[in-house]
Amino acid sequence: MRRLGLSLLGAAVIAAGLIQPATAQTASAPVYVLTYFDVAPSAAGRTADVLRQFAASTRKEDGNGELTVLQEIGRPGRFAIVETWRDKAAREGHGAAAKALAEKLHPDISSPFSTRQFDAFSVAPPATGADPANGVAVLTHVDVFPAGKDEAAAQVKQLAQDSRKDAGAVRFDAIIMEGRPNHFHLIEVWRDQKAREAHVLADHTKQFRAKIVPLEGALYDERLYESIR
């Protein structure tokens, strides 16, 4: 499987953000950035090559803690980029490089970069001895009505804590969109598809899904990926 792993700095940044409520974020807090975009399926191979080069360069930048490139399983023209930065200043310093990447990929892009910035919410280091760049990656956007954000936040945090104990869990982080406390993102990595399927059918996962549905402002958006390296 192709992949790009977490750097040592990334593990340190994640550890520093362990279970931070969004209200506690400051200019010096870790910043998480997710970017989604589509290219023509025929351009998936050359896009992956460009992203490998971009990732290698970005991970050398001051303040970068993670640059993981993901390709959606079953939809090779769909990509996602997961970034972790030491703070907002480090992220802002990367802006020109991100813009240059979008311009370079422009001829093949069918859906432009959709980039969102997040704060840590319930974040923990990867499982001991596990490779967070290997396995099945899952990105999920959880959008709830503003009136239910506090109830949803408690449910999301409990899901993250319970899911890290599931067999085969490599990474399970919950982050919250900057300025939109009713929008959450889940970043998961599972040892394999079997582990991921067992998690989906676990009692705590089914209970979470049952409780979150009445609060949802949009459909539960869950996508499966493999990492590129």
- For residues 9 and 201, the model is more confident at 201
Q: Which CATH number fits domain 8-227: 3.30.70.100, 3.30.930.10, 3.10.450.50, 3.40.50.2300?
A: 3.30.70.100
What per-residue confidence (pLDDT) applies to 12? Answer: 40
Instruction: Give residue-wise pLDDT tens across range 35-72.
Output: 999 999 999 999 999 999 999 999 999 999 999 999 99
Name the percent of the chain lying above pLDDT 90.
Answer: 83
Name the percent of the chain lying above pLDDT 70.
Answer: 88
In angstroms, the CA 76 to CA 228 distance is: 11
Q: What is the pTM assigned to this prediction?
A: 0.88
What per-residue confidence (pLDDT) applies to 192? Answer: 96
Average confidence (pLDDT) over 189-197:
97
What per-residue confidence (pLDDT) applies to 9? Answer: 40
In angstroms, the Cα distances linking 124 to 13, 34, 109, 187, 215 are: 10, 18, 34, 11, 26
Structure tokens at 183: 């929008």
